[in-house]
């Protein structure tokens, strides 16, 4: 049986990297007595995969992972079993049974929501001006950024990768492209804005939080973004 689990990553655990979060959940499955499936061989691995790695230092309200189990009572029980053995800051908020042919979360990822705020003491003097500028920046026909890599510099247009960008209560909200094809990081959007306005934000200026991860149930031309928790769910 395939199961999709949604969880949060808040507080100090934001400093735990993606690989260690995977290890953390492998141990958590055992502590919670989840009847998870293992691969064959001398060192069997749990059948478990994560939707999208989260960078060190980012918090999240919308992380997803898929597991396969041999048996289970129901989704609420799995949620309770896991939440009884979680570390502070990691909380399972949803659990869904998937159809057997459901695609795994990782291959579905198309977009993600982020909120961006200034870290304490890092906001610019003209905070209002900063946010107004950001909206002007977003409304351009092309949103260009110079990307530096080992091969040299290259200009990229982010316009089609930013689905939504707004400001409310000194909080930036963005819905941007994510996943294996066009992965846009929120940090890069802020960097593009810095390049555009010709002013660098101080190091570690932003607190970034992932809010949700989406799959696309439409097509490329007319995307229909649906939270991963609602895709492939089996209805019993």
Partner 1 sequence: MKKLALSDEILLSIEKPARYIGNEVNMARKDTDSVDIRFGMCFPDVYEIGMSHLGMQILYDMFNRREDIYCERIFSPWTDLDKIMREKKIPLFALESQDPIKEFDFIGITIQYEMCYTNILQILDLGQIPLHACERQEGDPIIIGGGPCAYNPEPLADFFDMFYIGEGETVYFELMDRYKDNKKKGGSRREFLEMAAEIDGIYVPSFYDVLYHEDGTIKSMTPNNSHAKATVTKQLVVNMDDATYIEKPVVPFIKVTQDRVVLEIQRGCIRGCRFCQAGNVYRPMREHSLEYLKDYAYKLLKNTGHEEISLSSLSSSDYSELEGIVNFLIDEFKGKGVNVSLPSLRIDAFSLDVMSKVQDVRKSSLTFAPEAGSQRLRDVINKGLTEEIILKGAGEAFQGGWNRVKLYFMLGLPTETVEDMEGIAELSEKVAEIYYEIPKDQRNGKVQVIASSSFFVPKPFTPFQWARMNTKDEFLQKAYLVKDKFRTMLNQKSLKYNYHEADLTVLEGVLARGDRKISALIEEVYKNGALYDSWSEHFKNDVWLKAFETCGLDSDFYTVRERSLDEIFPWDFINAGVSKEFLKREWQNAIDEKVTPNCRMQCIGCGAKSFEGGVCYENQN
Question: Which residues lie near partner 1 (CB under 8 A)?
Answer: 11-13, 15-17, 20, 23-24, 26-32, 36, 38, 42-44, 46, 56-57, 85-89, 119, 203-204, 207
Nearer to partner 1, 168 or 204 (CB): 204
**Minimal distance, residue 60 CB to partner 1, in Å:** 16
Q: Measured from the CB atom, is 17 or 218 closer to partner 1?
A: 17
- Kindly tell me the burial class for residue 16, based on how many C-beta atoms sit within 10 Å of its own C-beta (0-12, 13-18, 19 or more): middle
* Least Cβ distance, residue 37 to partner 1 (angstroms): 10
C-beta of 222: minimal distance to partner 1 in Å? 39
| Nearest to partner 1 of 102, 207 (CB atom) | 207
Provide the β-strand partners of residue 7.
63, 92
Rounded Cα distance between 173 and 212, Å, is 12
Shortest approach of partner 1 to residue 154 CB, angstroms? 27
In angstroms, rounded to a whole number, what is the distance separating the alpha carbons of residues 144 and 161?
Answer: 11
- CB nearer partner 1, residue 48 or residue 156: 48
**Closest distance between partner 1 and the C-beta of residue 93, in Å?**
18
The values of phi and psi at residue 190, to 5°, are -65, -35
- Of 190 and 228, which CB lies nearer to partner 1 in the complex structure? 190
By 3-state DSSP, what share of the chain in percent is helix, strand and coil, each rounded to 5?
25, 35, 40
Q: Beta strand pairing status for 206-216 and 59-68?
A: parallel
**Short-list 162, 145, 171, CA closest to 111:** 162
């Amino acid at each position: 049986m395939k199961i999709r689990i949604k969880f949060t990553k808040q507080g100090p655990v934001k400093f735990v990297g993606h690989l260690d979060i995977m290890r953390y959940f492998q141990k958590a499955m055992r502590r919670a007595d989840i009847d998870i499936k293992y691969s064959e061989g001398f060192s069997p691995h749990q059948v478990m995969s994560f939707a999208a790695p989260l960078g060190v230092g980012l918090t999240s309200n919308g992380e997803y992972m898929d597991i396969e189990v041999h048996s289970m009572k129901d989704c609420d029980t799995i949620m309770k079993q896991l939440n009884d053995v979680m570390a502070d800051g990691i909380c399972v908020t949803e659990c869904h049974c998937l159809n057997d042919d459901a695609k795994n979360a990782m291959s579905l990822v198309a977009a993600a929501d982020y909120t961006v705020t200034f870290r304490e003491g890092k906001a610019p003097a003209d905070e209002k001006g900063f946010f107004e500028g950001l909206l002007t920046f977003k409304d351009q026909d092309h949103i260009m950024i110079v990307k530096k890599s080992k091969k040299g510099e290259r200009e990229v247009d982010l316009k089609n990768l930013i689905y939504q960008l707004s400001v409310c209560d000194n909080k930036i909200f963005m819905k941007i492209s994510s996943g294996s094809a066009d992965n846009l990081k929120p940090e890069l959007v802020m960097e593009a804005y810095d390049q555009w306005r010709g002013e660098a934000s101080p190091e570690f200026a932003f607190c970034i939080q992932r809010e949700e991860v989406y799959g696309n149930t439409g097509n490329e031309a007319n995307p229909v973004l649906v939270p991963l928790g609602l895709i492939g769910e089996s209805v019993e």
